[in-house]
Structure 1
Amino acid sequence: MPIAPQQLVILDRDGVINQDSDAYIKSLEEWIPYPTAINAIARLSQAGFTVAVATNQSGIARGYYSEAELDRMHTRMNSLVEEAGGCIAHIAYCPHGPDDACRCRKPLPGLLHDIQQALALDSLAGSWMVGDSLRDLQAGEACGCRTVLVKTGKGEKTAAKGIGLEHTLVCADLAEFVDTLLAGTID
């Protein structure tokens, strides 16, 4: 059965699902999930939503960690979500640095297009993009997604700037967004 775009929730990783660090999350040991986020993803899955992740991982281009280490982090994330009763349908990541002129690094929409293709969707219009930075929201807006800013990670600083948030729902964290979405109080 095809996925309806409004049933797709795309999440940034660092600062939304797990703690963020200005020094980068370089190893499985440094990847510390927010327990409420893991449960929120499971609740989305159980309610019939498809969950995907779109994450910039320039630490690979910078030589801070390998794609194999990133895979270890994502394997752990998937395991935790599955143990909680949920599923992440697809993880798209950009391994490039800011000067690599790629098409996938957010705020460009390449990662979201990768998710669209992987999930065989005609469009992402009406899907949800949840992030903690302006670049997450800009990538979502470029694809017609409804945007959500969480105040975890860099979200508090992003919210304080107030730039580009006119059509964005602002929530304390991923769990609050999921509570709101599942309560049916968002159009």
Structure 2
Amino acid sequence: MLLLRRYGRVCAMIELRTLESDDWPIWRELRQAALAEAPYAFGSTLAQWQGAGDREDRWRARLEVPGAHNVVAVVDGCPAGMASGVPVEHAEDSVELISMWVSPAARGRGVGDCLIREVARWAAERGTKSLRLSVMPDNIRAAALYERHGFTDTGVPGDLLPDGTGREKVMAKSLTDS
């Protein structure tokens, strides 16, 4: 459990929990909230994870990705943020930070910082040399958060955006310098 201090007083309790497949209802709640609140920030849509896509086996499978580290932040007893670290195919020395989101009610309280540090810690313990992520080019607040944690633009074009012309911004940070 982490104690967050601001201006010399306690303002929130942030607990980080690593999730297993049995914790799928927590992941489901946060992921659907993220896709509803910030559809511009993700490659998948809420519609893909509702209706026929909203199945226990699918949520469990998402949490059972081999080698992944799925973590949620709980603030004052309520799930308030999420992130995953997943191995990068064909790059044993790299991990990708995905599914990063913090509830609007918890923003500005250090939750995003805690989630990023946790995924970076986990990746470094695995012997990973770099941590990378993709961010939508117009998601200025997220990019600023990542830059504060040492991520820089790789210049590598990311996935194509739905408009068919733009691309995600790919950022990375070295874990060997930490």
Query: TM-score, length-normalised on structure 1?
Result: 0.34
Structure with the greater alpha carbon radius of gyration = 2
More strand as a share of residues: 2
Ranked by relative contact order (alpha carbons within 8 Å, sequence separation 6 or more), the top structure is 1
Query: TM-score, length-normalised on structure 2?
Result: 0.35
